Amino acid sequence: MIKKEDHHPMESLLRMDRIPHIWCPGCGIGTTVTAFIVALEKLKLDFNKVCVVSGIGCTGRVAGYINLDSFHTTHGRAIPFATGIKLGNPELKVVVFSGDGDLISIGGNHFIHAARRNIDLTVICVNNFIYAMTGGQVAPTTPLTAYTTTSPYGNFELPSNVPQLAESAGAVYVARWTALHIRRLTNSIIEALQKPGFSVVEVISPCAMYYSRINRLGDGIDMMKFYHENSVIKHNEPTENLDIDYQKEIIVGKFINRERPTFTDSYNDWLVTEKKAQSKSMI
């Protein structure tokens, strides 16, 4: 017999006054949020010092449902907004929760430069291969030949490889899971949150309403299973091999885990050195 609980088990970290959420049945954002909340709980962080910043889009709505200091900003600008927060108060754990269109397309430049600077942010990128909030347009992550409302003859643009982009730009932690790898995804989010520097966790998520429907791939749950069953765990796989082909094998795992001084560390070092130099020259 199913035990009926009178409380949502995650209600302390959800804005219950905003539930039900806007996400479609079979969407992978929900499981990603679950993994994130479990990660926060497992880490026993001071929730007052954790802050979530989102951009625009389906995943952009995450900030509005998580009961932390949270910002729903402009399209693609979650990373620079979060950068400002981190610089303003380096004590905070700042998480950017957004979609592939937001982070890789309109926010691509910010993604590259935040990784290059190694700003201490955790970026959770929910990749559903499509612009879902606006009705199913082609995205920079749409696999070749996949249909969208704006690629009615199949997509012919080479999609972005998010882990490769993150690695080459300088991210210190890069992992990819599907929305059904909940335990592994949770562990990766935990690692990413603990990692000083720019960490990226990509989550391959079904879009039941648009991507699956337009390509006739079944319901969200079918897609979720398909992605899970067709994924191969290959830790430390070179990121150049991580392109995603249409309805083919998806390589998941933890690909990058390296050390590099963060922007805040380098900046503080510079401040201290310069201050000493300036006070010496004054003498």
Partner 1 sequence: MNPGTYNLTGNQACAEGALSSGCRLLGYYPIVPSIEVIERFSKRCPEVGATLIQMEDEISALAAVLGASWTGKKSMTVTSGPGLSLMMEHVGLGVMLETPCVIVDIQRSGPSEGIPNSPGQGDMMQARWGSHGDYEIIALSPNSPQEMFDLTIKAFNLSERYRTPVLIMSDECVGHMTEKVIIPEASKIEIEPRKYYGGPKNKYLPFEWSQDFVPPIVDIGKGYKFHVTGLTHDDKGYPIMNEVCQELNVHRLINKIRLNAPQIIEIEEDKIEDAEVVVVSYGITSRVALNAIQEARKNGIKVGSLRLITVWPFPEKIITKLAKKIKAFVVPEINYGQIVFEVERCSHGNTNTVFVSHKATQVYDSDNILYAIEQGVKEKEIKEKIIEYNK
Residue among 124 and 133 whose Cβ is closer to partner 1: 133
Q: What is the closest distance, in whole angstroms, from the C-beta atom of residue 115 to partner 1 in the complex? A: 11
Give the DSSP H/E element, type plus range, for residue 95. strand 93-99
71 part of the interface to partner 1, by CB under 8 A: yes
Of the residues 14, 43, 45, 47, which one makes contact with partner 1 according to CB under 8 A: 47
What sign does the CA torsion over 201, 239, 106, 207 have? negative
53 near partner 1 (CB under 8 A): yes
Which one of the spans 70-78, 126-134, 224-232, 247-255 is the region binding partner 1 (CB under 8 A)?
70-78
CA angle 190, 251, 120 (to 5 degrees): 35
Ranges of H-type helices in the chain: 29-43, 62-65, 78-88, 100, 108-117, 162-169, 182-194, 211-214, 220-229, 263-282
Stretch that binds partner 1, among 2-10, 72-80, 134-142, 196-204 (CB under 8 A): 72-80
- Member of 49, 235, 258, 260 binding partner 1 (CB under 8 A): 49
Contact 143, 159 (CB under 8 A): yes
Report the C-alpha gap between 188 and 173 in whole angstroms: 9
Shortest Cβ distance from residue 102 to partner 1 (Å)? 13
In the stretch 176-195, what mask flags binding to partner 1 with x, by CB under 8 A? --------------------
Q: What residues contact 35, with CB distance under 8 A and at least 6 apart? A: 182, 185, 186, 189
Residues that bind partner 1 (CB under 8 A): 15, 17-18, 47-49, 51, 53, 63-64, 67-74, 77, 79-89, 91-92, 109-110, 112-113, 267, 270-272, 274-275, 278
